[in-house]
Amino acid sequence: MIRFLYRTIMTIGTPVIELILLIRVWSGKEDPTRVNERRGKTQVARPAGELIWLHASSVGESLAALVLIEKLTKINSSMTILLTTGTLTSARLLTTRLPKRVIHQFAPLDRPAWVQTFLNHWSPNLVLIMESEFWPTQIQQIKNRDIPIIIVNARLSKRSYARWQWTRKMSRSIFGNLDLVIATNPEQAQRFIKLGAPCVEVGGNLKRSAAKLSLNKKLVAEISKQVEGRKIWLAASTHEGEDLTVIRTQKLLQHQFPDLLTIIVPRHPKRGSSIQRLGEANGLCVSRRTLNEEITLETNLYVADTLGEMSIFFDIAPFVFVAGSLVPVGGHNPIEPAHFNCSIFFGPLMAKNQEIADEMIRSKAALQMNANGSLAKLLEDLFNDNELATTLSNNAKEYAESGNAILDSVFGSITPFLKSLK
């Protein structure tokens, strides 16, 4: 019944879906020049030869997918990878990072006609889906064409798992159509088995295999000169609702540490002006990167509202707060700063990267605030305990660099399907 209702809504609900698309374009969440890709249409020709469609919803999944993509492109010089994502941010970040023979498109929305248009054009030979993007129409239409489907880095939050259990008949029709599920850990594997997936393996969390972000050394040197000798911490990928806590932390600690500099990199750069206003309203001297404002001795809050420059600030800041963890976003990937030998800490809401967060905490590679904890107190303790800070940063780097075995494991599970393409 639920499956029928879903299919009916997605079939006859075109006016509503089009309205949603229009609103997303208007609000800056879709690229107006490429919105037809959401309808399954494209101006890009399908290359000849074998084509693997890899779908990664947003930034975190896309970055984890890059290491797999690089390995895939090395095994077959004629094979093309079609990488689809669902967010503008991920598309912008990937622009300069994709290897040759990789095409980026925005994923089609799950309307039957649009999915059919997409599949008719691209005609993939194999579909790889990152993590937890399970769209009923897509999966059913892919299966109807006898195209193998593999879920890579498969994971379900407790809430998502409970939701799929509630729609048991629909979930079995979806998960039963998957050729292989490569779960991040045994607990996740059991969830997929109970939901009806016929073939489940444990491969580990591919996010641990992500390569270190590339670094513009010239910009690092330029900014390092501006902040030389100061105590610096970074709030990485903040969301609305977190900036005020970060700003208040700066205000609380700058009396004890007069040279303290807070750097905020907002997840969505367009929020830069609002963060600047918030900082100034709280009495801080703010400099903003998109306004080409330098960091002076008076600056105590620097808003780095750009895309693709996070590695610069990971390299400069010894202390990194992984944001998205004070609001119900689910926390961002702490592996990225770990490569830069940072002392890492995050808030209590790390559901999207809970497995990595738990492992890093157990390995003494990161600290986590509890629900009633104080960001200022945690940071103060780190500033005053060099031994703790050094232990965290060294362990974090070691943890990040031990992920290559996971890539090998995941790739080994995919290999039999790749052989059938040749």
Sole residue written with tokens 């050729």: 179
Q: Which stretch of DSSP H or E encloses residue 223?
A: helix 217-227
Considering the candidates 18, 30, 37, 61, report the single residue annotated as catalytic: 61
252's enclosing H/E stretch is helix 243-253
- The owner of tokens 């008076």 is 298
Residues 6+ apart with CB under 8 A from 77: none
The residue count of the chain comes to 422
H/E stretch holding 338 reads: helix 335-338
Exposed/middle/buried for 200, CB within 10 Å: 0-12, 13-18, 19+? buried
Instruction: Report the SS3 class of residue 203.
Output: coil
What is the CB neighbour count within 10 angstroms for residue 412? 12
Active site residue 294: no
Q: What are phi and psi of 362, to 5 degrees?
A: -65, -35
CA–CA dist 396, 336 (Å, integer): 10
Q: Rounded distance, CA 307 to CA 304, Å?
A: 9
Is residue 325 within 8 A of residue 341, CB to CB? The reply is no
Q: List the Cα angle 290/291/297 in 5-degree steps.
A: 105
The Cα 418–Cα 421 span in angstroms is: 5
Longest dimension (CA), the chain: 65
Query: Which sequence positions are flagged as catalytic?
Result: 61
